[in-house]
Amino acid sequence: MHRRLLALVAALSALPLALAAAPAAHAADPTTMTSGFYVDPDSSAKRWVAANPGDGRASAINASIANTPTARWFGSWSGTIGTATGAYTGAADARDKLPVLVAYNIYNRDYCGGHSAGGASSPSAYRSWIAQFAGGIAARPAVVVLEPDSLGDYGCMSQAQIDERESMLTGALAEFNRQAPNTWVYLDAGNPAWASAATMARRLHEAGVRQAHGFSLNVSNYLTTAENTAYGNAVNRELSARYGYTKPFVVDTSRNGNGSNGQWCNPSGRRIGTPTQLGGGAEMLLWIKVPGESDGNCGVGGGSSAGQFLPEVAYKMIYGY
């Protein structure tokens, strides 16, 4: 019997009969409903290793990257989104593992940075997409990182565009609360080098983080876990002082083993970080960005497109050179 079912039976048997029929929404902890994190069997690293078994780099990439639990990103490339999230979380659930998903399709995505520009065609299209995303997960246990960069990417946006974005995020969180009760959603909060803790706390609050399980840090970036933990704690101090609540946070450690050299777009000399785990100074340390996937046509990924798997970059990242 799945651990999730055993936990549910135990919880219901301890409740008064009147309450047992209506368990409280979001009482569940997806980390205790599963037995460890899900390894994406179709990640870019897995696919490359399978297609290049004779390559001298394949063994190291397989051992150090391809078999570490890493998030799967969902966007316009994912086809019918509810079908895609349902299939992915269903496959993880069948193995009693916890999947990590990234929702990356907000209208005007990467509006100021541009390397990953795109997203839904309108705010209403995004609302429909994210509702189907949540509906596909349904009651299965999952972790979702919601829209990386969306709260950091304000530098060139008008107040009307910012208000529109915050409305989309608040609406997204409401959909997960309504449709995916066993999902922990982390609203992305950029990284310590992007906005002050006070600024990010205000943006998180205005985008509805009170409705989320928590917030995520360092997605696709390189700053150390210690730097991110200090920043997350500072954001929580601001949330507490201004609004009277705090939230758990997770840190993307996939590429922060050597810290940052100040560049964010395919910098050289970076290294993989602590593998996906519970704890570690944050609620979880997660590999959210696949090591070796390009940040765009820049740095050591010159000539590549964002998301393209670059085996030489992945190989060097294992050893930190």
Would you please indicate which residues are annotated as catalytic (active-site) residues?
A: 149, 295
Q: Is 264 annotated as a binding residue?
A: yes
Contact status, residue 264 vs residue 230, Cβ threshold 8 Å: no
Amino acid sitting at position 308 = Q
Dihedral pair phi/psi, residue 170, rounded to 5°:
-60, -40
- The two structure tokens encoding residue 48: 């490359």
Q: Is 283 annotated as a binding residue?
A: no
Contact status, residue 37 vs residue 69, Cβ threshold 8 Å: yes
Q: Is 194 annotated as a binding residue?
A: yes
Helix, strand, or coil here: 44? Answer: helix
Which residues have a Cβ under 8 Å from the Cβ of 198 and sit 6 or more positions away? 238
Contact status, residue 294 vs residue 314, Cβ threshold 8 Å: no
Q: Around Cβ 103, how many Cβ atoms within 10 Å?
A: 26
Q: Is 97 annotated as a binding residue?
A: no
Q: Is 48 annotated as a binding residue?
A: no
Q: Is 293 annotated as a binding residue?
A: yes
Number of H helices, E strands in the chain: 10, 8
Q: What is the CA 31 to chain-centroid distance, rounded?
A: 15
Q: At what angle do helices 225-243 and 197-206 cross, to 10 degrees?
A: 60
Known binding site: residues?
A: 73, 194, 221, 264, 289, 293
Known binding site for substrate: residues?
A: 73, 194, 221, 264, 289, 293
